[in-house]
Chain A
Amino acid sequence: MLRRIGLFAVLAAACVAPAHAELVIDVQGIAQPTPVAVVPFGWEGRTPEMPADVAEIISADLLRSGRFEPIGEDKMLQKPTDGADVDFQDWSFVGVEAVVVGKVVQTGENAYTLQFQLFDVFGRRQLVGYRMPASRGTMRGAAHRAADMIYEKLTGIKGVFGTRVAYVTARQQGDGRLYSLVVSDYDGFNEHTIMESEDPIMSPAWSPDSRQLAYVSFEGDKSSIFIQTLRTGNRFRVSSKPGINGAPSFSPDGRKLVVTLGGEEGNLDIHVLDINSRRTTRLTTHRAIDTEGTWSPDGRWIYFTSDRSGGPQVYRVPATGGTPERVTFEGSYNARPRLSPDGKRLATVFNDRGNFRIAVMDLERRDVLVLSGGRQDESPSFAPNSDILIYATRQGRNGVLESVSADGLIRQKMRSSAGGDVREPVWSPFPRY
């Protein structure tokens, strides 16, 4: 039942270190990424340079995906900015399979149009052409959106270049530690610390509309669950009962949280919290530790960790209440379940011969694939396209983030350039353009 992926079936290793970014990303791609060309974009505007180097952003996205290898500018025989000028013979000679050309046109003081075209070199045809408005502030986002469209045309998989990641960092500060809750673009840009505390912060969770994060904070030496709106920074405390308040996760409709409550007696159970009314419904009553609840994408089930059988295993219970049933049987330790957004796979923290690693189980075939190779890997979170997972691993004494494609072939390491311990990454849903 258990398959293992060769962790070093990797050839290319590229390092992308964007300026000002908190995260530095190393990509380990598949053996033969597809060569493509992203020609420098044309600029028609009132300033010497365009607000963001769109071609470079698209190139970096494609490179980071591990599936593509954008060629250098010096290898290009022509640098067209309009599809009409693309010479397929030249590009065929250079050996690329796809070409992206485009330009940015300034249409007002802070108004621009970004347009791009993607061509299949061998088929000699346009795969997609698109034009979209942007401002200085949204130019990076528009470039990511273009990369998403290009990636989807070429692979059939939705791109996640416009998504964000939330994570927690901890660093030494004087005698204590400073914990930060951070949100950044998936590529480490636009990093924002949205909450800081000398007490631990845990378990961030995205709302389905990407506008809010729920998390656990220990400020005042007790655990409480907060929901914070990213745009305004406003937050409200949704659960602060005696004992443990933990492990929040939003329902697919965004109206409820599944949470873990412990009470004075410390019996951790799964509860559903209605965010508006603050009413809670208890779903489990077992004396064991029941925690880490998460909704199935169809909203019907809540999957959770329970050690009612001895060690932690994944169970599920109908979201409206019912009898829990066990889901995982492979291995002595399966915790922190997360379902892929397409509902087909279940990721867990898995004990692999004494090492805690990220495993993914196909819910239909029920086979288990160990995807990570560390000793202390944790907090798996699926990208919204179900094709990539992000998780935390140890490097020396610090936590760093890694992502891996669901087939195990493409791996990225993200380490914090600011140092400190980075943990609990959670991938945002798709942005709503």
Chain B
Amino acid sequence: MSYFKLISIAALSFLLAGCPGTPEMPDPEPTDTTYGGDAGASTSGAGNDPYGGGEFFGEDLAGEVGNVIYFEFDSSEVRAQDQDIVAGHASMLNSNPGLRVRLEGHADERGSREYNIGLGERRSQSVRQMLMIQGVSASQIATVSFGEERPVAFGNSESDYSQNRRVEFVYPN
């Protein structure tokens, strides 16, 4: 079962990479990426250990599954180390058909605000697609983009920016 999931994640990454809806923007400035803000993210991994995957954790709603994943500059592609987190949520949603998740997409503060709403939405949609490919029903998922309007880090270093480029999984109630 987890083998199948990993295949679909790999296929999805391939799809997303070639998807015209997620164009690569020319990088306006070199990005020095440090991911200081991954506290909520678990990085055990699909990439390093594809067959030994063990079990997906978090059948209940306890905070074992990371609730935030982070993105590269101008990218909406779920990073390899975060795919387990998405799979964990997919598994939870699949086994609880009554459960609803809200995917909140966010962008860093650079550039125009409404355009950043679009970048945040692109991120939440990329997670939504990944959940749906793993069997989650569209009716269980809502997306919202806050663009740069709800930062968690308020400085203007790359480390601040990288904490703000994120999708949060929110379970209302």
A interface residues with partner B (beta carbon < 8 Å): 177, 200, 202-203, 218, 221-223, 243-244, 246-247, 260, 262, 264-268, 287-289, 291-292, 305, 307-308, 310-312, 332-333, 335-336, 349, 351, 354, 356, 375-376, 378-379, 394, 397, 423-424
- Does B114 count as interface, using CB distance less than 8 angstroms? yes
Please list the 3 inter-chain residue pairs (A to B) with the smallest Cβ-Cβ separation, ordered nearest first.
A289-B118, A354-B29, A200-B149
**Cα distance A267–B19 in the bound complex, in angstroms:** 13
Chain B interface, DSSP helix/strand/loop, else mixed: mixed
Contact between chains at B26 and A332 (CB < 8 Å) = yes
- Does B28 count as interface, using CB distance less than 8 angstroms? yes
Contact between chains at B119 and A289 (CB < 8 Å) = yes
Residues of B within 8 A of A354 (CB): 28-29
Residues of A within 8 A of B142 (CB): 222
Contact between chains at B149 and A287 (CB < 8 Å) = no
A221, A244, A310, A312: residue with the most chain B Cβ atoms closer than 10 Å: A244
Shortest beta-carbon distance from B94 to chain A in Å: 20
Contacts A268-B118, A291-B115 supplied; 6 other A-B pairs, CB < 8 Å: A222-B142, A292-B114, A312-B112, A349-B112, A356-B110, A376-B109
Residues of A within 8 A of B145 (CB): 223, 244, 262, 266
Count how many chain B residues have C-beta atoms less than 8 Å from C-beta atoms of the other chain. 37
Contact between chains at B111 and A243 (CB < 8 Å) = no
Q: A268-B121, A288-B23, A354-B28 are in contact. Are A349 and B154 (CB under 8 A)?
A: no
Name A331's closest neighbour in chain B (CB-CB).
Answer: B28
**Cα distance A4–B156 in the bound complex, in angstroms:** 25
B20, B142, B149: residue with the most chain A Cβ atoms closer than 10 Å: B149
- Does B79 count as interface, using CB distance less than 8 angstroms? no
B111-136 with Cβ < 8 A to chain A: 111-115, 117-119, 121-122, 124-125, 128
Name B28's closest neighbour in chain A (CB-CB).
Answer: A351
Residues of A within 8 A of B111 (CB): 312, 333, 335, 349, 351, 356, 378
**Cα distance A200–B149 in the bound complex, in angstroms:** 6
Residues of B within 8 A of A423 (CB): 113
Residues of A within 8 A of B25 (CB): 307, 310-312, 332
Residues of B within 8 A of A262 (CB): 118, 121, 145
Shortest beta-carbon distance from B153 to chain A in Å: 10
Contact between chains at A202 and B149 (CB < 8 Å) = yes
Contact between chains at B113 and A203 (CB < 8 Å) = yes
Residues of B within 8 A of A397 (CB): 154-156
Shortest beta-carbon distance from B42 to chain A in Å: 25
Q: A221-B102, A267-B21, A287-B20 are in contact. Are A305 and B115 (CB under 8 A)?
A: yes
Task: Provide 6 A-B residue pairs closer than 8 Å at the C-beta atoms, listed in order of the A residue.
Answer: A200-B150, A247-B114, A289-B121, A307-B118, A310-B24, A336-B113
Name A242's closest neighbour in chain B (CB-CB).
Answer: B142
Name B172's closest neighbour in chain A (CB-CB).
Answer: A221
Contact between chains at A203 and B143 (CB < 8 Å) = no
Residues of B within 8 A of A376 (CB): 109-110, 156
Contact of B23 among A264, A310, A351 (CB under 8 A): A310
Shortest beta-carbon distance from B17 to chain A in Å: 15
